[in-house]
Structure 1
Amino acid sequence: MKRVELVVSPVESDVDLQVEGRSLYQGRAKATGLREAEMFLADNEPYQKLKTFRPPSVSGYNYPRFASRSIRHCLEMLPDREKEFAGYPMGNFFPFIVFLGCGLGYQIEALVERADVVNALVFEPDEEKFAASLFTVDWESICDRFLSRKGYDIRFAIGVDATERNLKELLERNLNKRVPLHPAMTIYFNHQACNINRSIAEEIRKDLPTLFASWGNYDDEMKRLNNTAFNLRAGSKFLRNSVTGSFHKPVVIAGSGPSIDDRLPLIRECRDTITLVSAGTGLKALINNGVTPDFHVELDPDYLIYQLLNDIGRDKLKGITLIAVNEINALVPGLFDEVVLYAKRDNPAPKGFRLEQYAFEHCNPTCTNAAFAIFQQLGFRNFFLFGTDYGFKDRTKHHASGSVYGSRDESSEVSVLLNDLARKNFLEGKLIEVDAVDGGKIFTRSDYFTAMRSVENLLHWARERDDDIQVWNCADGAVISGAPWLAPDNFAGTIGRILDGAVSEPAPESVIAGLVEVHHDPELEQRLAKVGTFLSGRADNLRRILRSSLRGKKDVVRLMAPLIDASQIVETPKGFNVPQPEQYVAQHLLRGTLMHYMTVGLYHSMAAADDSGATVVAAHWSKAFAGFLEAVPAHYASVITDQSTGEGRRWLEMTIHDPETVVEG
């Protein structure tokens, strides 16, 4: 320890910790810890109500698909708490305490001796402070209080790179691993009322929409896997993630935010001197205004994407190279003359299906994120983001007028569907406010907020590796940290200056073309079968855990730690030295819906008035959960591996809003 010094006096019964010469406890570390524990217990007395997030409701599970329908049926058996909810009546135990700051650990020792803490996370930003605590409290005894009891759990998150950004990422990452205990059951114990730790926790609270948006679900993951299977069976071309140089010619990425209406003339004037990449619904906004991009990037796997692109017409898509995720609906590539696929590194498909060389970081959650991520990782350095508003000032104008959301086309089934959904989501849905580039505020949704944060994280990640990257925000929406706003009058001049310094560089189109290769996998069907085998094994293991006796709220809480571990951990199977690639695909397929099911069980049980009510809720929930897990293997086989059913091919022409057929029968 170089910065901290443990001070022990031969005449005093208490101790102190000095950090860079400054006393942390004024010689009273033990007394401070005991006082903090007593104050915490006084502020969190037994049987009070914990007022956080309300339990999930039936209205959140409307898709007529296998997993969503299963959860919906489960919720229909439980009390409706969508309107009348005043908090979670707590028992005489704590489901989940997050200790913000460890210090010398006396407050943690005192609290676990006096209270029944089922799950704990110890977060200490300073590794040397934690090292000092190894000499003061009996961590073995503290941990044994958790590890010796079934369903109890304690984790540690110790900072080694003490910047506030990295510490936030450390705590957030560890909290996200404890869903569903986090966020609704999370109670913070902030040691010494530390302002930095409080600030970190507050920033995590603000970013909770990104947590909820990242869960996913079995229905969606199965659709993605089914599309992947069809695309790989076709022997598709893929884009290799390989940096062959540093390229400075300007890349313009066009989304479909409302501000692109006013900015389109800028793109049109410079069209011959830029590489134009449309993203998602941004394509129609460009084409309807007479602008054809060089590349079009797609990320969404739904059949809706095929319908949208088909409505544009194949003639208008000529000359555009489609860059699509491996999960794209397998009907989409047939609409374009030139198609290359890519994979996402935060997805198990690259590992499970030998696509690592085609995988890119930070592609989620929107097409604009994917477009930026792909071109940045291929060595391009100058980006201009259009239509990346990530919000809107007017609820009635949330997309570009030329996009599918800009005008309702009664002759188009998909236009009618999407505009009806938009009315519900934008005019009636809950919105949040974020900072706008003009100094004011704009409205946004949780998914847009997640996309904006993802771009900011990608910028931070990219600049840690290459400080040559330049990104300008040419949208008139939300502030994007790390991407300065560029006024319309400055666009052409900035493009000109960049081009002057990049005259001798190759055209971006030729760079991309040199990275395309055909991918064949003769063992694909065997890999898909292995996924099914591992999926069945995971489901069986989870069902065994669910057989536990559930007689009250604490029993449900105690069930969470083993369920969380079973949903996250990929163990090495017998006969192997390491986990098999297909296991990660199986784990990913189930993960999202497991989180949803665990959240339903925990939150509704804890919302019950007493243990008797919680027991009834838990019985209905565990039966429904086990029933879903029992049906999963056959469902997987019917869609993915047993091609004789024809269900997988039927899925290619189904949106997430369409009911399943053979499987349900």
Structure 2
Amino acid sequence: MNKDLLQSNLKLLEASLPPGLAAQLAELSPGFSITGSVETGDLNLMAGGRPLFEPNAIQHSREQITRYLENPNRFYARLGGLDPKATGVADRMMQEILKSHQGLELSTLPEAGGGYLFMFGLGIGLALSPLVEQLDFRDLIVIEESPEFLKLALSLVDWSPIVDRITARGGQIHFILNDSPDAAINLLVHVIRGPHHSLLDGSYVFQTYGSPFLNGAVAKLAEVRPLLFGPKGFVEDEMTMMRNSLANLSQGPYGFLEDKTDRSIKNVPAFIIGSGPSIDGQFDLIRQWRDRVVIFSGGTGLNGLLDNGIRPDFHCEMENTTNIFDGLTQTAARHDLSGIRLIASTSVDPRVPDMFDDVIYFFRDTISSTRAFAGQHQPMAYAVPSVTNLASRSAIALGYPQHCLFGIDLGSKKPDQHHSAHSIYTLSEKPSWNRGNDMDPLAIPVKGARGGTVYSIASFMLSRSYFEQLFLSFPQCQFINCSDGADIAGTTAMDPTDMTIPASQRPVAEIVAQTRAEIPDIGPEYFQITERFQEYRNAAHQWLDQAEQALSKTPPDRFAPLYEALWPLINEATTQQVNSPDKAARWTFLGGIGRVLQLGHFLSRRIDPKDRSDFCRTLHRSIVEHLPDMRRQLNDLEQSQGQG
């Protein structure tokens, strides 16, 4: 084993490797002995006196690569239909592009190339160099369960040419070292939704060796496939959230919730309440334990509790859409909301906080308003994408280490029953609510927490992915899934009738009061929103200027130059959240532009070569012609704030 090469590679890959891994590998003694060498062409590993490769590792790897390149396993998108009623700027661009090229024949499979190489199992690394040399991709993602193999790969293979080649393509190397297929793929989901998300179609999947972990991880990747291609945002949404945040933060005083290390640990369970169908049989138990727990409700879960005489201590809302206010209005017509504390994103409809006596805001991650206004404060990671994600995440931030999940079904065992019978979705007299506000049909089969099959949708699966990553990030906490819905890794599934909740040593009301007292109240001047909004609007106009200039210099008849021109403007490659006007401007536009580039990447490699130039010109022209639409939306936002 070459110790000098190991140290050189560790230093080279320091930014890509998990923290502390270098020290761990230095002390690790692999359970293999090495015979031969790479230079002599007879390298092999011996375990229990027997070789692991026949005839040797070099020959084995060459034959494996040859077979793979003859028929590579790739990851393909499906071109879904566009909602003809959608009016967003990205929707209009995509509609125009598709309309202009109706009737063109598309190849089932794209040409070579994709955004990623998913390498399931590094092995001893011999397959890496030929794959990097012969496949066209940007980011390399290594999923490995064995630190021993990683150490061998870093001791036997010089990674410098691999890093140089990937860096020259504008790519990065990511390592996911884990022994849980669920946890590994949840980490992978977050990496995929990174800088080259638009190029996901056609990515490569290579499995170096077989093991229960790797086989399970590949199967899990196929399961989460429906949620991987979804958009990362919309210009209109970002403008709405910016407008809402300005309105909400200009009021006050209000509570401000973020992670703090000095909050007390609470000795009572937190009940996290959603509105999945399975909660309908659990309200009596929740009522029975009411004086022993603190209750966090999410979204339409509030109405079910109040219908059954149970008042939550904290209620959570996050979405910026007007139907959140509409749903709460229907609940308020049935019940008194006084005394319930609201935990909400700064970006919610400003009418929502007005319905509650006590309001606590938090900064939601990966939205432009957070980047613009949060300053030195960090958002709470994994508090999205659903209100129940927020409820559990808030309980963790407030010092509750034991969580019991009710009504967090993330689907249903009956595809025609998407929510609780006590939810506004069911009780409303408005047909749009009864239809689930046009949610997709429950059609994706997933494993049930207590057995059987649960039918889900992509947005619920994304919520599950964030739950699983949240639970993995807080191993000191206990998560009991009392819902009879989708299986959530990191939880203990339990029928609540088998659960015992001990009496609290202190009155719950005192614990809730202490919890609220540990949340600081601040005034509207704290976040300097007027000054920071001015900085944001300047950065957003500069972003649009840069996009116009980049497109004016880009050949319009090929997709690659178009992507290379726009990618630096939508690249949000930092893993550490950084709040700045530039980051806020990028987040305003990257979702919409990314969707259009995703469509361009999909179609440009499937269209007949003779039609490709015309298609790329249409794509280029559509973006150029709609940048002024984005600027008009920015100007409207400015004028609504008395600026511009």
TM-score norm. by structure 1 comes to 0.80
Unaligned runs of 5+ in 2: 4-28
Q: In terms of mean alpha carbon deviation, does 70-79 or 117-126 score higher? A: 117-126
Q: Which of 313, 329, 332 is equivalent to 2:349?
A: 329
Q: Which of 221, 224, 230 is equivalent to 1:207?
A: 224
CA distance in 2, matches of 1:116, 1:272: 61
CA contact (8 A) 2:365 2:380 kept: yes
The 1:563–1:106 alpha-carbon spacing in structure 2 relative to 1, beyond 3 Å, is farther
Deviation at 1:327, TM superposition (A): 0.9
Deviation at 1:27, TM superposition (A): 6.7
CA distance in 2, matches of 1:21, 1:158: 31
Deviation at 1:342, TM superposition (A): 2.0
CA distance in 1, matches of 2:64, 2:590: 38
Q: Which of 443, 464, 480 is equivalent to 1:452?
A: 464
The 1:626–1:26 alpha-carbon spacing in structure 2 relative to 1, beyond 3 Å, is same
1:206-285 matched pairs, under 5 angstroms: 206-213=223-230, 215-241=232-258, 242=260, 243-285=262-304
- What SS does structure 1 have at the residue aligned with 2:320? coil
Give 2:584's aligned amino acid.
V
1:425 aligns with 2:439: yes
Describe the superposition over 1:609-635 as per-residue Cα deviations: whole angstroms up to 9, x where unpaired: x22222222111121123333442332
The 1:164–1:255 alpha-carbon spacing in structure 2 relative to 1, beyond 3 Å, is closer
Unaligned runs of 5+ in 1: 410-414, 572-577, 647-665
CA distance in 2, matches of 1:456, 1:64: 34
Describe the superposition over 1:70-95 as per-residue Cα deviations: whole angstroms up to 9, x where unpaired: 433333333379xx97622426x677
Match of 1:77 in 2: 100
CA distance in 1, matches of 2:330, 2:69: 62
CA contact (8 A) 1:364 1:370 kept: yes
CA contact (8 A) 1:217 1:589 kept: yes
The 1:320–1:158 alpha-carbon spacing in structure 2 relative to 1, beyond 3 Å, is closer
Match of 2:22 in 1: none
- What SS does structure 1 have at the residue aligned with 2:172? strand
The 1:344–1:475 alpha-carbon spacing in structure 2 relative to 1, beyond 3 Å, is same
CA contact (8 A) 2:181 2:220 kept: no
- What SS does structure 1 have at the residue aligned with 2:479? strand
Q: In terms of mean alpha carbon deviation, does 370-379 or 192-201 score higher? A: 192-201
1:52 aligns with 2:76: yes
1:489 aligns with 2:497: yes
TM-score norm. by structure 2 comes to 0.82
CA contact (8 A) 2:110 2:602 kept: no
Q: Which of 295, 298, 307 is equivalent to 2:317?
A: 298
Q: Sequence identity, in percent?
A: 22
Match of 1:659 in 2: none
The 1:349–1:394 alpha-carbon spacing in structure 2 relative to 1, beyond 3 Å, is same
CA distance in 2, matches of 1:382, 1:144: 47
Q: Cα RMSD between the aligned structures?
A: 3.7
CA contact (8 A) 1:601 1:621 kept: yes
CA distance in 2, matches of 1:367, 1:564: 32
Q: Which of 434, 440, 443 is equivalent to 2:446?
A: 434
CA contact (8 A) 1:98 1:121 kept: yes
Match of 2:559 in 1: 556
Match of 1:287 in 2: 306
Match of 2:515 in 1: 511
Match of 1:590 in 2: 589
Give 2:413's aligned amino acid.
K
Match of 2:543 in 1: 538
Match of 1:39 in 2: 67
Q: Which of 285, 290, 307 is equivalent to 2:326?
A: 307
Give 1:530's aligned amino acid.
E
Describe the superposition over 1:172-223 as per-residue Cα deviations: whole angstroms up to 9, x where unpaired: 4443335445532112233356764454333233223443457222222221
Give 1:454's aligned amino acid.
Y
- What SS does structure 2 have at the residue aligned with 1:344? coil
Q: In terms of mean alpha carbon deviation, does 267-276 or 510-519 score higher? A: 267-276
Q: In terms of mean alpha carbon deviation, does 344-353 or 4-13 score higher? A: 4-13
Describe the superposition over 1:536-558 as per-residue Cα deviations: whole angstroms up to 9, x where unpaired: 3333444444443354xxx4256
The 1:614–1:486 alpha-carbon spacing in structure 2 relative to 1, beyond 3 Å, is same
The 1:369–1:164 alpha-carbon spacing in structure 2 relative to 1, beyond 3 Å, is closer
CA distance in 2, matches of 1:477, 1:94: 35
The 1:31–1:397 alpha-carbon spacing in structure 2 relative to 1, beyond 3 Å, is closer
Alignment length, in residue pairs?
608
CA distance in 1, matches of 2:489, 2:201: 29
The 1:29–1:370 alpha-carbon spacing in structure 2 relative to 1, beyond 3 Å, is same
Describe the superposition over 1:307-331 as per-residue Cα deviations: whole angstroms up to 9, x where unpaired: 2222333762222222221111111
CA contact (8 A) 1:217 1:593 kept: yes
